[in-house]
Chain A
Amino acid sequence: MGDVLFTSAIDGLLIGVIYGLAAMGLTLIFGVMDVINLAHGPLIALGMFGVYLLFTFLGLNPFLAVAIVAVIGLLLGVVIYFIAVNRVIDAPPLSSLLSTFSVNMIIIGIGTAMLSTSSYNVDYSMGTMDLGFFRAPGARIAASLVALLTTALLYIFLYRTRPGKYIRAVANNRISAELMGIPSTRILALAFGVGVMLATVAGGLIATILPINILAGGSYELKSFVIVVLGGLGNPLGALLGGLILGLIEGIVPVFMKTTWVPVIEYVLFVLILLVRPQGILGAKE
């Protein structure tokens, strides 16, 4: 029992890091511009298929493919910002919810027409890593490490570089940031791009370890909501913690009850936290 519990917990934490990375994209965008990006799931799915296509047709190493997908994700995010978000940035929340949801419909529509909804697989193995007390597929461990590395890079970007500091300034107070001469529209576009990049990277990493389909992003989007609320809306580090918690729940709960109870627990927790502590565990942005 102890062994099973331990292994399940580690399994959960490994996937939890990736959940956390996906959620970071959502929470960064919310934190900076108060927009809940409802195209998050399809963007995760695009990341999945980006890696799948680069791997299958160009024979690229999946982790190299993730890096390329990241760049594409960044650019795509900037484009989406200018098309769908910029005009409604100061409108009531319904507007940005619907405009990002329309992006969701467009991506899913094109994706379904081209790829159908059937399942695809990145056929890639890195063997099994055996640490004596714990065994896991090598790709799974590698994916988690890449997710951690991306998180670290995000922090360096946000805290050590000028554009990153600008993003934090705009998140803190857009009007005073503008008064200080920060070009807020460009910074918002950049922040949206980074948020989308994180979603696509998370999707790409998921593709290296699990089967994918165009609709698969949806469930990760919902998980991201749960995580983001757990960790505090707008708080990227909170998202990592939330991801780990969600991963642990998914790892451990099935040891005690049917797997189908996992989402019930997740979503009830989600609503309860919204009600009782909407600022999340670590606290939301001011």
Chain B
Amino acid sequence: MKRLFKPGLLIPIAIIIVLAIWPLLSGNSASSREAMFTLIMSMALASSLNIILGYTGYVSFGHIVFFGIGGYAGFWAITVLGWHILPAALLGGLIAALIAWLLGLAVLRLRGAYFALATIGILEAMKALVVNLDFLGGPVGMEMHFSEYKRYGGPMQSLWMIYWSMVILAIIVVVVSYFIKTSKFGLGLMAIREDEDAAEVMGVITPRAKTWAYVLSAVFPGIIGVLFFFKNGNIEPGDAFRLHFSIEWIVMIMLGGAGTVLGPIFGGGVYQWLRKTLLTSPLFKNYQLVVAGVMLLLIVLFVPTGVIGWLRARSAKLRRIFE
């Protein structure tokens, strides 16, 4: 239990909590709630991806596939089976985890660029498949009837319920991420990241460890997908399986620092804040993507460890504060 009261865990949780209560304090709560939802969701998604990408060193480029799979599974359970959102969200996470497990058995044998390519292939295959599945609405996807929200006390209540679910989930993701990082399992993952063959020689059961890391990094995007599309009211293949979106998560991770607990939280926050600023600035409105691209390029070329990674590399003392 001593592990609970360390700055490495408390700092990211504190950041999320402060952001989460912001809409209650600010006057215009509906719009700041939406902004914070996007922000906290990004942090949670980037943190999940960080488990396989940052800790284990496997570049899952098409990681959004689990967000889409979970989203579709949950949306289907809600609209077709009439499930409550919460069990549906868990179903989304479960299906995403199950598919990650099956895929992982196969694709985690690939290394480096081959793995990255395979994840893009899986994403595109899944998107193309869903377009052809009529029971999931094919190319146009599925809509949720407005009356669905009545069950939770109306649209307003539903939105707040989703919001707080997202906040709690983000905190769970951070806790899981922290416990992995500071556990024996996490040590094994980082050994794999640094040198997979050497890790195996030292006794790390690499196939099993990688598969677990992949499953854990898929389960939360699966759940988040359900919350997101429930809030949206509709789901379609283009939104559920957008490659660009999952690359944004990678940018967030890189910005903060891959393989750190705080990195994706910090990076997610900065990225979304910057994006919002650019979107509203008349000068950069049309060149948002260019600015983001230049930023990414500069990070990759000059600060490849990210901000938190850079700080951690400075001294052992900073390593004890920032996990």
A74 to B118, CA, bound (A): 29
Cβ-based interface call for B38 (8 A):
no
Write out the residue numbers on chain A whose beta carbons fall within 8 Å of the beta carbon of B295: 102
Main secondary structure of the interface of B (DSSP, over half): helix
**B114 contacts A by Cβ under 8 Å:** yes
Residue of B nearest to A34 (CB): B113
List which B91-136 residues lie within 8 A (CB) of chain A. Answer: 106-107, 109-110, 112-114, 116-118, 120-122, 124-125, 127-129, 131-132
Query: Would you call A138 an interface residue if the criterion is a C-beta within 8 Å of the partner chain's C-beta atoms?
Result: no
A238 to chain B, nearest CB (A): 15
Q: Could you tell me the distance between the alpha carbons of A113 and B284 in the complex, rounded to whole angstroms?
A: 10
In the assembled complex, B1 has its CB within 8 A of some CB on chain A? no
In the assembled complex, B313 has its CB within 8 A of some CB on chain A: no
Check if A270 is an interface residue, CB within 8 A of chain B: yes
> Please, which residue of chain B has its CB at the minimum distance from the CB of A270?
B121
Tell me the complex Cα distance, A90–B288, Å.
30
Tell me whether B290 is interfacial, beta carbon within 8 Å: yes
Cβ-closest chain A residue relative to B130: A264
By a CB distance below 8 angstroms, the chain A residues around B201 are none
- Which residues of chain B are near A10, meaning CB under 8 Å? none
Q: Which residues of A contact B233 (CB under 8 A)?
A: none
Residue from A34, A93, A102, A104 with most neighbouring chain B CB atoms (10 Å): A102
Q: B258-301 CB contact bits vs A (8 Å, 1 = yes)?
A: 10000000000000000000000000001111111111110011
Chain A contact residues: helix, strand, loop or mixed: helix
> Per-residue CB proximity of A14-28 to B under 8 Å, as 1/0?
000000000000000
Interface: A278 (CB within 8 A): yes
A94 to B127, CA, bound (A): 24
Contact (A112, B59) CB under 8 Å given A105-B296, A264-B129, A271-B121: no
Residue of A nearest to B290 (CB): A109
Q: How far is the CA of A275 from the CA of B294 in the complex (A)?
A: 34
Number of interface residues of B (CB under 8 A): 45
Of the residues B122, B131, B290, contact of A105 by C-beta under 8 Å = B290
- Are B120 and A84 in contact, with the CB atoms below 8 A? no
Please determine whether B59 and A109 come into contact, CB atoms closer than 8 angstroms. no
CA distance A34 to B288 in the complex (A): 30
Given A105-B296, A109-B287, are A278 and B301 neighbors across the interface (CB < 8 Å)? no
Contact residues in A for B300 (Cβ distance below 8 Å): 88, 95, 98-99, 102
Residues in A254-277 with C-beta less than 8 Å from chain B: 258, 260-261, 263-264, 266-268, 270-271, 274-275
Asked whether any CB of chain A lies closer than 8 Å to the CB of B139, the reply is yes
With A and B bound together, what is the CA distance between A91 and B304 in angstroms?
10
Report 24 cross-chain contacts, Cβ distance below 8 Å, ordered by A residue.
A94-B59, A94-B258, A97-B59, A98-B250, A99-B297, A99-B301, A101-B247, A101-B296, A102-B295, A102-B296, A103-B297, A105-B290, A106-B293, A106-B297, A109-B291, A109-B293, A113-B286, A260-B139, A263-B124, A264-B132, A267-B121, A271-B107, A271-B122, A274-B121
Known: A109-B290, A267-B128. 8 other contacts (CB 8 A): A101-B247, A105-B290, A105-B296, A106-B289, A106-B294, A112-B286, A270-B125, A271-B122
